[in-house]
Structure 1
Amino acid sequence: MIVRWRKDQEYFIVRLYQDLVGDWILSQSWGDCLSDESNISHTVLPSYQEARRLLRVIAREQRQRGYRHEDRNEVQLRFDFS
């Protein structure tokens, strides 16, 4: 899952995915489109429910900071590695 927010030239992107050992990873990246400055952080979560809870908290914080949710039609590929 990929969720994007924008405020002027600033962006904030969250990616939620499950790694190969079954942990849920929530990656946050943010920066400014007009500069080379950007940051990223990764949080390992024990369950999908915990990851979604954190995503709801992040969404609320972004709205409070004046960011707008950006809809994008993206195809999420599902691979079966079993």
Structure 2
Amino acid sequence: MIDSADNATHPLPVTGATRLHFSDASRSTFTVDLGQDLLGDWILTQTWGGTQMQRGGGKRIVVDGHEAGLLMLQKIAQKKERNGYDQVHPYHVRSHWL
């Protein structure tokens, strides 16, 4: 809790990675992020783009909770790795405009 007098603010139960970045050989990038919105709903946000694409894209999905979101994050990561994407650290992600 941030303020002991505030009954509405609670700590986030972060128990695993909440943002993953992926890149493939053609420098396409994919990012998936799990977080809460201002109403407390857990949101899974996916964004993609790259040098070979005319445009990038993204989508947001409301998930049933933190654990459900972490499970979806893990499934998406496994699928991306099967499709030839490598997980990279944020400081290794390069903009396709460089």
Class of the TM-score when normalised by the shorter of the 2 chains: 0.7 to 0.9
Percent identity, aligned pairs only? 27
1:52 aligns with 2:42: no
CA distance in 2, matches of 1:14, 1:33: 19
Of residues 69, 72, 77, the one that matches 2:87 is: 69
Range with bigger deviation, 34-43 or 62-71: 34-43
Structure 1 gaps of 5+ residues are: 74-82
- Taking only aligned residues, the RMSD between alpha carbons, in angstroms, comes to 1.4
TM-score by length of 1: 0.80
Give the structure with higher Rg (CA): 2
| 1:33 partner SS | coil
| 1:66 partner SS | coil
CA distance in 2, matches of 1:28, 1:43: 8
**Counterpart residue number, 2:20:** 3
**Counterpart residue number, 2:13:** none
| 1:21 partner SS | coil
Q: How many residues align?
A: 73
**Superposition misfits of 4+ residues, deviation over 6 angstroms:** none
Q: Give 1:36 deviation, angstroms.
A: 4.2
Structure 2 gaps of 5+ residues are: 1-17, 92-98
TM alignment of 1:6-45, pairs within 5 A: 6-8=23-25, 9-45=27-63
Q: Give 1:16 deviation, angstroms.
A: 1.0
CA distance in 1, matches of 2:53, 2:74: 28
Range with bigger deviation, 13-22 or 33-42: 33-42
Q: Which has the higher strand share?
A: 1
